[in-house]
């Protein structure tokens, strides 16, 4: 039985991966086949079609200037990096990718820079503790987290607190 997967934002526009006689086809929003999966090569065969507005950026080979940022589709997450100093148990964030530096022995209890729905990723090059519910930070599992250079946490501001969305510990 053939199957179809629509890929795109809620309400479209969509591209689709469609199974047609056991072949996988990539279709544009008008149903035109723009690529076929080549099983022997393990990649999409574009059939001489050029793809535009792919909405993916490889950081190793691309730069992002203000005109490019302005042309991205709604829903595209662009992370602008900043470094902040952890002082008096708090930081203030303006961007989405935040490197936290610290005074020795200072724990993080409060994140300032609240905009409802804002997301931030915190990473560091020093050791400190993020405290759960001591200020406006709610961590998964309701337990404090020890941060160090191999760890990153993502938060979203819900209008009252910064709620952990996920973490990466290496």
DSSP 55-82: ----TTT----HHHHHHSPTT---PPEE
Is the domain of 105 the same as that of 164?
yes
Residue 110's domain comprises 81-169
pTM: 0.56
Query: Quick check: is 91 in a domain?
Result: yes
**What integer pLDDT is reported at residue 55 of this predicted model?**
46
CB 101 within 8 A of CB 125: yes
- What is the number of domains present in the chain? 2
pLDDT at 4 over 70: no
Query: Quick check: is 73 in a domain?
Result: no
Query: Quick check: is 90 in a domain?
Result: yes
- State what percent of residues in the chain have pLDDT above 70: 64
d(CA 67, CA 96): 19
Is the domain of 89 the same as that of 37?
no
Is the domain of 34 the same as that of 105?
no
Q: Give the CA angle between residues 44, 47, 49 to the nearest 5°.
A: 100
Query: Quick check: is 60 in a domain?
Result: no
Is the domain of 22 the same as that of 86?
no
Q: What is the pLDDT of residues 129-147, one digit of tens each?
A: 999 999 999 999 999 999 9
Q: What is the sign, positive or negative, of the torsion defined by CA atoms of 114, 115, 117, 122?
A: negative
């Amino acid at each position: 039985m053939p199957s179809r997967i629509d890929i795109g934002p809620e309400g479209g526009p969509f591209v689709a991966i469609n199974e047609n006689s056991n072949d996988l086809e990539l279709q544009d929003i008008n149903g035109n086949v723009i690529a076929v999966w080549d099983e022997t090569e393990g990649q999409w065969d574009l059939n001489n079609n050029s793809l535009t507005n792919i909405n993916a950026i490889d950081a190793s080979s691309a730069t992002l200037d203000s005109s490019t940022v302005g042309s991205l589709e709604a829903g595209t997450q662009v992370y602008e990096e900043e470094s902040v100093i952890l002082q008096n148990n708090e930081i203030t964030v303006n961007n989405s990718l935040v490197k936290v530096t610290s005074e020795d022995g200072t724990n993080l209890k409060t994140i300032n820079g609240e905009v409802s729905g804002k997301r931030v990723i915190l990473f560091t090059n020093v050791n400190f503790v993020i405290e759960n519910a001591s200020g406006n930070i709610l961590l998964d599992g309701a337990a404090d987290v020890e941060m160090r250079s191999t760890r990153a946490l993502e938060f979203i501001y819900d209008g009252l607190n910064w709620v952990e969305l996920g973490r990466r510990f290496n």
